[in-house]
Structure 1
Amino acid sequence: MTTPLDAAFGTLPELIRATASAQPAKLAIADGDAQVSYEELDRAMDRIAAALQRDGTAQRQAVASVAYPCVAQALVFLGTLRAGSVAAPIQPSATPAQIAGMIADSGADIVFLDAANADALVGQDIAARVVMLEELDAWLAPAGAKPQPVEIAPEDGFNIIYSSGTTGVPKGIVQSHAMRWQHLSRNAAAGFDTAVTLLSTPLYSNTTLVSFLPTLGWGGSVVLMKKFDARRYLELAERYRATHTMLVPVQYQRIMALDDFDRFDLSAFRFKTCTSAPFKAELKADVVARWPGLLVEYYGMTEGGGSTALNATEHRDKLHTVGRPLPDHDIRLIDDEGNEVPPGGTGEIVGRSAAMMNGYHGREQATRDATWTSADGLRFIRHGDVGRFDEDGFLVLMDRKKDMIISGGFNIYPSDIEAVLAEHPAVADCTVVGVPSEQWGETPVGFYVPREGAEAGVDDVLAETNAKLGKTQRLSALYQADELPRSAIGKVLKRELRDRLAAGEFA
């Protein structure tokens, strides 16, 4: 039996309308406080799309939102797509200046804000109109309103996902309708049509969207958590009889560490996934042993390229890997000169598939820098990680080529924090590294050489620096050093600093 998802191309709004027609009363989205059926979702998407068109938002123009995950934000995201516009959810944990910069970069003329983040734009001068999500009903087009039909091309932008908050404007990763259609259509075996998918990560993260979108595309039900709490997660799993979930490793760690984990009824679970950060083999083994349903780890990038999957339940001898490339995903390894490494060798990971970003929004050079072209002229995305394939074709991650820190499933770039730290008048030289954290997986730690005659102490420098950073970027510790270790070409030897810190030298 064929389904609309068997087509070469389609759109998510079309799929949602089909489910609304076939199963109008079925639960579409809930957040623990509010919920909508597919019929209600479909009508709300029409009213939002009509209101955007009424207010002059153009097709292919971005629509921004700054909010914690909730039904209202999801409605705005999906209604934006029906208008043919581009969803641009933005992380609330960034600073007001960063948020304003992302809104401006996206080109959005409207931004939806929730009450919990009402101060997100304090002191910022933005051109976009602000609509509070709590006042969404008053802004909507009248009940029964229909938007003007739009024709969506495969290459049209679906959403913009911004990289982790930076001191300037983060790179906006533009993902097309064609890319998202690939994400939807390849999930035939995942059982999303009968899923109740419990999600506790934000809608501005691709980690969330790779489960959120297929669930709605196939006609399943989504339950959103506004803020993750391990015990609350298990309570919602019981309440809604959750069958599917996507969690980052630190969330699995906190859930499995609960003393009363085993008292919760998780028997409905069929499909658990993980991505976004290193997932320790021993933690995978614990989840497989004690939590019903398959556990699958995905490795890939928001930018797209190649992805791998590890069925941890089936391949318990491969828990130290991230699995094999997905069907029709081409993953290769290259050396520093851009040449492919021989079989068994170690190299930088590059990947290619039908699911690849259009590019970084307005940043042609950054897009070129993220691209590797094979000898036969094919375009690959550079993952920035170093790895090798074992004898069975499973990918083993060795290290990150870049110094990105992954904290609580979020990407943090040390250079962004270093730029803020270096602005302090007491700092002559500085660097930031990621160190292991039981709570977050990794956490950023700073080192600095004090400027001669500086009066500010370590605590003052730390407090003033963190005040200028987004919540996920803040330094967990800061240490003084007489000098920073550097290589012959002047690069800071971050591994040496990590080793010295682990040895207690900076205690």
Structure 2
Amino acid sequence: MTTVVEKTPRGVIYRAAKSFPVPDLDILSLLFDSEHSAATPESVIHSAADDPSLQLNVSRARTLTQATSAALRRHFNIGAGGPGRDIVSVVSLGHYLLPVLCYGIIGAGGVLSAASAASTPRELARQLLSSESKILCCVEAVKDVAVKAVEEAGWGRGGGGRVLVMGEGREWTLKVVQADGSLGRNLIDENDLLPWQTITDRKTLADSFVIMIYSSGTTGLPKGVKFSHRNLVAQASIAGDSLRQSWGGPKPAWEYRTLAHLPMAHIAGIQGYLINPFYVGGTTYWMPRFDWHKFLQYNKQHKITIFFTPPPIYLMIAKSPDVTDQFASLEMAVSGAAPLGKELQRAASRKLGTGKNVYISQTWGLSETCGSSTLMPPGVDDDDTGSVSALMPNMEARIVDDNGRDVEPGHEGEVLLRGPVVCNGYYKNEAADRASFTNADDGGDRWFHTGDVAHVRGGLVYIVDRKKELIKYKGLQVAPAELEALLLTHPAVLDAAVIGVPAAEWDETSEVPRAYIVADRNKIDADAIKDFVKRNAANHKQLRGGVVFLDAIPKSPSGKILKKDLKALASRGQSKL
């Protein structure tokens, strides 16, 4: 299942050696009703990490989902005018009943739009206006922010009856925020159910609009990414069936248990907690938010067997003395959302599992690919070359130069993707669509520009860096991700980020690398860091832009370094240390 390459009249095409059939079903029918799903009516699919007695099996989830759909339709007309028209925004911490709301929105014919619980009122208001949301659902902990946001968005005092607070305990509730801030009656009636519409027409599935998330905004303003039933089903079935091939059956020999510790506003939360574990009959244990010590506690307490997490958490696993036997039950570990250097990959892998070969594999994807676009082939469980695995089955790629011409195999260039997991574009943003998708005239080839520079070697994909973030120094390219990975191998460096800054105030055509470092200043200084890079990197990769110490590297909730924040810091004339 490695990546193969083929020269065609339309370019040099990379594809997975294997493909899987994608079921012609809507996402709820796939999970709850189809033979493809390994979950039974009694399978526990969601549970509270802090109190596992709070749990949800498939049968109960079905009832609450349909009751939620009915309440949204009856009280707010969600889906009454047809599917894919009414957007329902959700801003929430993680909890085991949150999936019921998400499934219920889709079941009513609405569009689930997830927002970050870390949003300020202004940021949330901007997203509500951009998405044209009809209602906003939240948890009690973010109610004040939600109300301020909707008032700023012009919804009226207290949200004008369009803000709902969901329950998080044993009883599933949805209550409207009143003008005085109090909560109204529970709108959920378990005797009033609205079954979802089963869809089997492939074109209808592909053209549907069921979920919208906002791109991370690491380089600019976030954009609303539109997902169809086809996208969600393809991601679940292709990833799930790839795992089943490696397991040799519909379920692994071990119990599938994962820990929800990433934000629901990120595609990793949507696909990784709401959908994929359900598809393979697994259980998701929900944390409200990421907390390092509770993360360790819950991994041990619930004997977590599989998780996906970004490099910052693997960095903590590798360097923290707190890690002992908490990951003894782990069977699979996957990294994504940002580059994971091979040295960190090896160091963190050594602390996972007990007496088992639990090696961290890397996946690569974007918001626009509904999650993964690469997966490690079955049987390859020890790749430590820094690859992001092979192209996922059913996916195709091209690698092109700055002029859009295909480069020779083995050479670097921007990756273009197409396949069933690639989104349908951006919400009411034709300029972004034109910038991100090619629409050729020769038969309608449509490729998504990922913005990532990569090459393929030995059937595996190697990401160099974001195209926009490559540093150009005297005609040579420097990949910040490479320097970041190198810096993290130093035992005194706790975290690191690298950006390009102008080589001189009068010359903005050439850049030099600057490192931002989190470290104990009593153990290391800027000169020691520069010397370390000098010993381990080529001349054009030296830290000529200096070293700046920070208390923390700015990152998105999903773990991506916010380079735009660092560039703003640099532009304000931060002194070089």
User: What's the offset of the Cα at 1:373?
Assistant: 4.8
Please list, as runs of the form range in 1=range in 2, the aligned pairs for 1:242-321 lying within 5 A after superposition.
Answer: 242-264=304-326, 266-292=327-353, 293=358, 295-304=360-369, 307-310=373-376, 314=380, 316=382, 318-321=384-387
Is residue 136 of structure 1 aligned with residue 161 of structure 2? no
Distance 1:240 1:327 in 2: 32
The match for 1:335 is 401
1:163 aligns with: 215
Q: Which of structures 1 and 2 has the larger relative contact order (alpha carbons within 8 angstroms, sep 6+)?
A: 2
Is 1:502 aligned to residue 551 of structure 2?
no
Greater Cα shift, 343-352 or 143-152: 143-152
Q: Number of paired residues? A: 436
3-state SS in 1 of match to 2:468: coil
**Distance in structure 1 (CA, Å) of the matches to 2:39 and 2:385:** 41
Q: Which moved more, 1:363-372 or 1:495-504?
A: 495-504
1:239 alignment counterpart: 301
Aligned-pair identity (%): 22
Match in the other structure for 1:188: 241
Over residues 426-485 of structure 1, what are the superposed CA-to-partner deviations in whole Å (9 max), with x where a residue is unaligned? Answer: xxxxxxx9x97866654889x89xxxxxxxxxxxxxxxxxxxxxxxxxxxxxxxx99474
- Greater CA deviation, 290-299 or 156-165? 290-299
Alignment of structure 1 residues 14-413 onto 2, 5 Å: 14-18=29-33, 23-32=40-49, 33=51, 34-55=54-75, 56-58=77-79, 59-60=83-84, 61-121=86-146, 122=148, 124-127=152-155, 129-134=162-167, 136=174, 138-147=185-194, 149-152=196-199, 153-154=204-205, 155-164=207-216, 170-186=222-238, 187-190=240-243, 193=251, 194-212=255-273, 213-264=275-326, 266-292=327-353, 293=358, 295-304=360-369, 307-310=373-376, 314=380, 316=382, 318-373=384-439, 377-390=444-457, 392-403=458-469
In 1: Cα distance, 2:64 partner to 2:391 partner: 38
CA distance in 2, matches of 1:100, 1:368: 26
CA RMSD of aligned residues (A): 3.5
Are 1:101 and 1:169, in contact at CA under 8 Å, matched by a contact in 2?
A: no
Query: Are the aligned partners of 2:87 and 2:134 in contact in 1 as well (CA < 8 Å)?
Result: yes
**Aligned partner of 1:43: which letter?**
T
Cα shift at 1:257: 2.6
Stretch deviating more after TM superposition (203-212 or 49-58): 203-212
* Structure 1: tracts of 5 or more residues without a match: 406-432, 449-480, 488-492
**Alignment CA distance shift 1:120-1:275 (3 Å):** same
Tell me the alpha carbon deviations over residues 347-391 of structure 1, each in whole angstroms, 9 at most, x when there is no partner.
Answer: 11111111110110001121121013567642111110112222x
| 8 Å Cα contact 1:199/1:208 also seen in 2 | yes
Deviation at residue 396 of structure 1 after TM alignment:
1.9
Summarize the Cα distance change of 1:440–1:381 in structure 2 as closer, same or farther, 3 Å threshold: farther
SS of alignment partner, residue 360 of structure 2: strand
CA-CA distance at 1:246 after TM superposition: 1.0
Partner of residue 568, structure 2 = none
The one-letter code of the counterpart of 1:100 is A
Deviations 1:404-439 (A, max 9, x none): 99xxxxxxxxxxxxxxxxxxxxxxxxxxx9x97866
- Alpha-carbon spacing, 1:27–1:247, altered in 2? closer, same or farther (3 Å): same
Quote the offset at 1:197 in angstroms. 1.6
Alignment check: 8 A CA contact 2:213 2:225 kept: yes
Are the counterparts in 2 of residues 69 and 224 from structure 1 also a CA contact under 8 Å?
yes
1:222 partner amino acid: T
Deviation for aligned residue 1:241: 2.0
Question: Secondary structure, in 3 states, of the residue corresponding to 1:320?
Answer: coil
CA contact (8 A) 1:230 1:255 kept: no
- Deviation by residue 1:90-135 (Cα, 9 ceiling, x = unmatched): 0122321221121222222111112222232425134361011245
Deviation at 1:190? 2.5
Give, in whole Å, the separation in 2 of the partners of 1:185 and 1:168: 32
Describe the shift of the 1:218–1:310 C-alpha distance in structure 2 as closer, same or farther (beyond 3 A): closer
Q: Which amino acid aligns with 2:454?
A: G
- Give the alignment's TM-score, normalised by structure 2: 0.68
Cα contact 2:388–2:462 (8 A) shared by 1: yes
Query: Secondary structure at the residue paired with 1:228?
Result: coil
In terms of mean alpha carbon deviation, does 86-95 or 299-308 score higher? 299-308
Mean Cα deviation higher: 161-170 or 118-127: 161-170
